[in-house]
Amino acid sequence: MAKYRIAWLPGDGIGVEVLEAAEVVFEKLRLDAEYPVGDIGWKFWRKEGDPLPPRTIELLKHVDAALFGAVTSKPVKAANAELVPELQGKTLVYRSPIVRMRQLFDLYTCLRPCKAYPENALNFKEGIDLVVFRENTEDLYAGVEFGPVPRELADLFGKSAKSFAPFASLAPDDYAISCKINTRAGSERIVRAAFEFARKFHRKKVTVVHKANVVRASDGLFLDAAKSVAAQFPDIAMDDANIDAITMWLLKNPFNYDVLVAPNLYGDIISDLCAQMVGGLGFGCSANIGETLAVFEPTHGSAPKYAGQYKVNPIATILAVKMMLEWLGETDKAQSVQGAVAEVIREGKVRTYDMGGRNSTIEMAIAIAAKL
C-alpha cells in the first residue's frame, strides 16, 4: 500500500488542464502515493443533479489530502436550464462543490500565501510576502438564504428593528435575504490559526479585517473574538482594518502588512487582491485545511473561455502542490518544488501567456519538473 492517498479532483474547464500539469510534477517527485480520481463538477450536475456526488464525498473520507482543479458555477436559473431532460423541473439547487467540501469536512482554514517570486515581471512590487487566513465555513457562505422571503420572517422584521420596517411591506418575491452568520468558536479558531502560523514562521503582525463599524453584530463578534485570541499571543502584534480601507492601504503600502485574517467573504476578496499583487491568479494558491482532511487548489476558477487551450499558467496549482507536500510533512519535496518554481520564474525563459510568453500549461510544468 502506498504511504499516501491523494484524491484527484480535476473538475472542469481549465481545472482539468492544470491537474495534468500537476501530474507532470508528481511524476518527477516520485511521492509514495496513489491518486484515486473523484467525480466533481458541472458534468455531474447536468447528468445527476449533483456536482459533488455522494461517491466523491465517500472517497474524501478515505484520503489524506485532495488536489482540486476548478469547477464552473452558474447562477440558479442558468444552472437549472442545463440539466438533462429527466431532471428538468425538479427542485434541484446548484451549490458550489468547493464550498460544500469546505463545509462538509469542516475545512475551516483557507490559507492563501501571496508571495512575489523574485523577478516576476508581473509583480506589483518586489518583496511582497503576504499571507491571508480566510475563515472558510461560515459568514455569508453559510448558505442560509431566503428568496422569496417567507411570511414568518417578514413578520419578524416588521416587529423587530425599525430599520427593517420598509422591507416588511414588500412582496416576498421583491426582496431576498442572505444571512451572514459568524460564530465565536468559528471566529476564534481561524484567528488562532493565523496567530499560530505567525508565531511558527516568525511573522511580525496579524491584521484582522472586518467592517465592524457597520456590520455590528457579526463583524463585531469576529473582531471581539480576534482580540481575545490576540491577547494569548503577546509576542505578535495585532491590528485591525475595515475591509474597504484595507484594499486601498494594501495597494498603497503592502509592506505594512504581513498576515491577514478575515471572515469568509472579506477573505475571498482580499485574497484575490493580494494574488494580483504577486502576478495574478496564475500565482494564487490555496489550502483548505480541517482537522483530518485538507483540499489544495489554485485560487482561480475554471475559466471556461480558456478551456481546452492549454494556455493558462499552472504555477498556482503547482504551488498548491507545494502546500500539500508541506501539510503531509514532506518538507524537502515542498522546498524543492518551491525552488523549482522560483528558478523558472527568475530565468524567464518559459512563460505562459499571462507572463507575456507563448508556452503552454504543460511546457511550464515540464520546465518546473526538470528542475526537481
Q: Measured from the CB atom, is 286 or 352 closer to Mg ion?
A: 286
> Comparing C-alpha atoms, which of 336, 250, 370, 321 is closest to residue 20?
321
Kindly indicate which of the ranges 7-15, 91-99, 252-260, 315-323 contains the residues binding ligand IPM, using the contact rule CB under 6 A. 91-99
183 interface partner picked from Mg ion, ligand IPM, none, CB below 5 to 8 A per type: none
Please choose which of ligand IPM, Mg ion, none residue 218 contacts, taking the beta carbon within 5 to 8 angstroms, the exact cut-off set by kind. Answer: none
Q: Which residue stretch of 45-53, 96-104, 174-182, 214-222 sits at the interface with ligand IPM (rule: CB under 6 A)?
A: 96-104
Restricted to residues 163-202, the positions that interact with ligand IPM (CB under 6 A) are none
How far is the C-alpha of 199 from the C-alpha of 258, rounded, in Å? Answer: 12
Q: Is 96 in the site for ligand IPM (CB under 6 A)?
A: yes
CB neighbour class for 96 (10 Å; exposed up to 12, middle 13-18, buried from 19)? middle
Shortest reach from residue 312's CB to ligand IPM, in Å: 16
Radius of gyration of the chain (CA): 21
# residues near Mg ion by CB under 5 A: 1
Nearer to ligand IPM, 96 or 242 (CB): 96
d(CA 31, CA 369): 13
H or E element that contains 79:
helix 76-81
**In this structure, what is the dihedral angle of CA atoms 197, 199, 203, 207, given to the nearest 10 degrees?**
70
Alpha helices in 231-263 (DSSP H): 243-252
Least Å distance, CB 73 to ligand IPM, is: 6
Site for Mg ion in 259-288 (CB under 5 A): 268
Should residue 297 be labelled a site residue for Mg ion when binding is judged by CB under 5 A? no
Residue pointed to by grid coordinates 468547493:
98
Q: What is the Cα–Cα distance from 132 to 137, expressed in whole angstroms? A: 15
CA distance 18 to 300: 11
Rounded Cα distance, 53 and 345, in Å = 38
Q: Which does 99 bind (CB under 5 to 8 A by kind): Mg ion, ligand IPM, none?
A: ligand IPM
Residues 252-311 contacting ligand IPM, CB under 6 A: 268, 299, 301
**Residues contributing to the site for ligand IPM (CB under 6 A):** 73, 96, 98-99, 268, 299, 301
**Residues contributing to the site for Mg ion (CB under 5 A):** 268
